[in-house]
A and B are shown apart, each in its own frame.
Chain A
Amino acid sequence: AQRVTQPEKLLSVFKGAPVELKCNYSYSGSPELFWYVQYSRQRLQLLLRHISRESIKGFTADLNKGETSFHLKKPFAQEEDSAMYYCALSGLGYGNDMRFGAGTRLTVKP
């Protein structure tokens, strides 16, 4: 079964502090993993995907197959990072068939 777990529903940090949003997954094959973000009053949009190994808006995420984790990290949080973050898994390799976690609401305080 495919499952994505985001253990923290709410996360609050101060501006300039490091932030880590946790994501663990369960999947028997080789999944594709994504982080999607939803800013206030905006639609869900892709933040980054593990295959690209890219850094978007200062965020990075490393796939750890041993721990089945895909945590999202940023060394210095900004107020504009406040949003809802969803970790998602695609099992069959076609991207648009994702299983999402419940999401973590990140608040960055001034």
Chain B
Amino acid sequence: DAGVTQSPTHLIKTRGQQVTLRCSPKSGHDTVSWYQQALGQGPQFIFQYYEEEERQRGNFPDRFSGHQFPNYSSELNVNALLLGDSALYLCASSPLTANTEAFFGQGTRLTVV
């Protein structure tokens, strides 16, 4: 099992563009969450997907949207990129149970210029 895999590893976009980041969860996991980690900060919860629906959402504008596919993989889309969207984007997968361990990917480093 390769664990949680994210692609691409690095990305440079221009302000105003749109970006799509991808995540494949750990085998057996049906829940995927996305986090944004700015430099020097802890990860910030963006949203969580289960059964192809957004279950919870953090304090992020609707420029941030996502999708989960029947195979549990997920995409994070960000529209109208701002310079402040530059960050490491982390995907984490888990089963949908209480007190469960979340397994994190290595992240996608997004730079907006």
Which residues of A approach B to under 8 Å, CB–CB?
Answer: 4, 6, 32, 43-46, 49, 51-52, 86, 88, 90, 92-103
Chain B interface: which size bin? 20 to 34
B101 touches A49 (CB 8 A): yes
Binds A, one of B8-16, B62-70, B87-95: B87-95
A96 touches B42 (CB 8 A): no
A100 to B42, CA, bound (A): 6
A102 to B44, CA, bound (A): 9
Provide the residues of chain B in CB contact with A100, threshold 8 Å.
35, 42-45
Which of A46, A94, A98 has a CB less than 8 Å from the CB of B98? A94
A43 to B41, CA, bound (A): 15
Provide the residues of chain A in CB contact with B33, threshold 8 Å.
96-98
